[in-house]
Amino acid sequence: MENKRPVIGITCSTKDIGGLETAYLHYSYTTSVMNAGGVPVILPMADKEIAREWAALCDGILLSGGEDMDPQQIGAEPHPNLGKVIPERDKTEMDLIEFAKEQKIPIFAICRGIQVLNGALGGTLYQDVYDEMEKVIKHYQDGARDAATHSISIEEGSLLAEIIGSNETSVNSFHHGAVQEVAPGMKVTAKAPDGIIEAIESEDFNKNWILAVQWHPEDMTEVSEEMHRLFTYFVKAAEERAGKKETVSSS
């Protein structure tokens, strides 16, 4: 029996729960993927050979939010305000990004995900925007997870603008790091009013379908049709890629 719906691999974190190290992911990711027509599979930390197997299994890769990326992964030193890092998780995600890019598997990256993605592809990162940038607005909200608290302006002609259906919107915000220099092959498609980069995407979607946002759309899909559409576009891209894979294997 063949899969009818695209399989979306979602990376997760690790957390000590009752003294046991536990694979950890908010349900909002899996729910948002299911509501968009995808079949979520949670990907725990693993070595490179396992990441290679996942690339063969998954039609799309979703890089979820979480802890700060270890700056040493991209040759940078830790800022004093750097939060908790999990280098093993960074490595698993960097391996997945490498295989996904190689095999043209669509990637959707969220919050921590945009930073790991940009770092993995050769970009640089702010580890603490409050200290490293001037006149920064509040990017770590105290409001509810699904509440939009700051605006973003969106690049005209980008895929993000097509999905959102506008050149501006408002998003939730739970970060103190951000993309600094965008990675080669990627372009900036949204910024907060203070200039902080809030979204990047592929320069060429035919080469690689990659979309990354600094906010948490998975927590807004129940209240925002725009945020739900981010997931439906991603799942559609995964579905199209899965269709191509079948054509290749049957010929």
Applying the rule CB under 5 A, the residues between 89 and 128 that interact with Mn ion are: none
Which of 64, 118, 127, 173 is the binder for Mn ion (CB under 5 A)? 173
Residue nearest to Mn ion (CB): 173
Interface stretch with Mn ion, choices 62-70, 91-99, 170-178, 201-209 (CB under 5 A): 170-178
Given the residues 93, 111, 139, 175, select the one marked as catalytic. Answer: 111
- Of the two residues 92 and 173, which places its CB atom closer to Mn ion in the complex? 173
Q: How far is the CB of 173 from Mn ion (least distance, A)?
A: 3
Interaction pattern, residues 9-38, with Mn ion; x per rule: CB under 5 A: ------------------------------
Active site residue 111: yes
Three-state helix/strand/coil letters over the chain: CCCCCCEEEEECEEEEECCEEEEECCHHHHHHHHHCCCEEEEECCCCHHHHHHHHHHCCEEEECCCCECCHHHHCCCCCCCCCCECHHHHHHHHHHHHHHHHCCCCEEEECHHHHHHHHHCCCCEECCHHHHCCCCCCCECCCCCCCCCEEEEECCCCHHHHHHCCCEEEECCECCCEECCCCCCEEEEEECCCCCEEEEEECCCCCCCEEEECCCHHHCCCCCHHHHHHHHHHHHHHHHHHHHHHHHHHC
- Of the two residues 161 and 197, which places its CB atom closer to Mn ion in the complex? 197
Residue 139 in the binding site for Mn ion (CB under 5 A): yes
Residues designated as active site: 111, 216, 218
Which residues form the interface with Mn ion (CB under 5 A)?
A: 139, 173
